[in-house]
Structure 1
Amino acid sequence: MKFQHENSYEVAEKIKEKKVAILPVGAVEAHGPHLPLGTDNFLAERLSEKVAERVDAFVLPTLPYGQVWSLKNFPGSINVSNESLTNILVDIGESLFRQGFQIFALVNGHLGNAVALKEAARKLYETCPKLKVMYLFYPGINKVVNEVRETPSSHGTYFHACEIETSFMLYLALEYVEMGKAICDIPVIPLSADVTPTPWEEFTQSAVLGDATLATKEKGEKIIETSLDNIVKLIEEVKGTIK
Structure 2
Amino acid sequence: MYIADQTWPELGDYVAESSLAVVPLGSTEQHGPHLPLATDHLIAEALAREAADRTGYLCTPTVNVGVSPHHRQFHGTMWVDPPQFRDYVESLTRNLAYHGIDRVVFVNAHGGNVQHLREVGRRLRDDGTMYAIEWMWDESIPDLVTDLFDHPGPHGGPKETSMIMHIARDLVREGELDSARDGGVVDLGDDHLREHGARTFYDAIENSGNGVFGDQTDASPEAGEELFEAAADQLVRLLSWLDDQPIDDLLAPVHVDPQPGSRR
> Does TM, normalized by the shorter one, top 0.5?
yes
**Counterpart amino acid of residue 25 in structure 1:** L
Q: Which deviates further from its counterpart, 95-104 or 195-204? A: 195-204
Rg comparison, structure with higher value: 2
3-state secondary structure, aligned to 2:240: helix
Question: 1:122 Cα deviation (Å)?
Answer: 0.3
The residue aligned with 1:220 is: 224
> How big is the shift at 1:58?
1.5
Report the equivalent of 1:191.
Answer: 193
In 1: Cα distance, 2:170 partner to 2:157 partner: 17
CA contact 2:151–2:215 (8 Å) conserved in 1: no
How large is the RMSD of aligned CA atoms in angstroms? 1.9
Matched AA of 2:162: S
Cα gap change, 1:19/1:173 in structure 2, threshold over 3 Å: closer, same or farther? farther
CA distance in 2, matches of 1:47, 1:10: 23
Aligned to 2:255: none
- TM-fit CA distance, 1:30: 0.4
Separation in structure 2 between the aligned mates of residue 51 and residue 239 of structure 1, nearest angstrom: 14
How far apart, CA to CA, are the structure 2 residues paired with 1:135 and 1:17?
Answer: 24
- Give the Cα–Cα distance (whole angstroms) in 1 for the partners of residues 174 and 18 of structure 2: 39
Give CA-to-partner distance per residue, 1:14-52, whole Å, 9 cap, x none: 222342211110111001111111111111000111111
- The equivalent of 1:75 in structure 2 is 75
8 A contact 1:97–1:128 mirrored in 2: no
Count residues with an aligned counterpart: 237
Q: 1:9 to 1:235 in 2, by over 3 A?
A: closer
Contact 1:164 1:220 in 2 (8 A): yes
Choose the corresponding residue for 2:158, options 159, 163, 172.
Answer: 163
Indicate the SS of the match to 1:23. strand
- Any residues of structure 2 matched to 1:35-184 within 5 Å, and which? 35-129=35-129, 131-138=130-137, 139-149=139-149, 151-154=150-153, 159-182=154-177, 183-184=180-181
Per-residue deviation, residues 160-195 of structure 1 (Å, max 9, x unmatched): 111111011112222322212223144256122973
Amino acid at match of 1:141: I
Task: Verify the 8 A CA contact 2:152 2:159 in the aligned structure 1.
Answer: no
Aligned to 2:6: 6
User: Would the aligned equivalents of 2:27 and 2:38 in 1 still touch at CA under 8 Å?
Assistant: yes
Taking the aligned partners of 2:194 and 2:31, their CA distance within structure 1 comes to 23
1:208 pairs with 2:212 = yes
Alignment check: 8 A CA contact 1:153 1:210 kept? yes
1:205–1:191 distance in 2 versus 1, CA, 3 Å:
closer
Q: Aligned residues: percent identity?
A: 27
Question: Counterpart in 1 of 2:252?
Answer: none
Moved over 4 A (4+): none
Question: Unaligned 5+ residue runs, structure 1?
Answer: none
Q: Could you tell me which of 219, 240, 255 is aligned with 1:236? A: 240
Q: Which amino acid aligns with 1:9?
A: P
Shift in CA distance, 197/203, structure 1 to aligned 2, threshold 3 Å? closer
| Kept after mapping to 2: 8 A contact 1:27/1:40 | yes
Q: Indicate if the aligned counterparts of 1:65 and 1:79 stay in contact, CA closer than 8 A.
A: yes
- Alignment partners' CA distance in 1, 2:85 and 2:203: 20
TM-score of the superposition, structure 1-length normalised? 0.90
One-letter code of the match for 2:193?
Answer: L
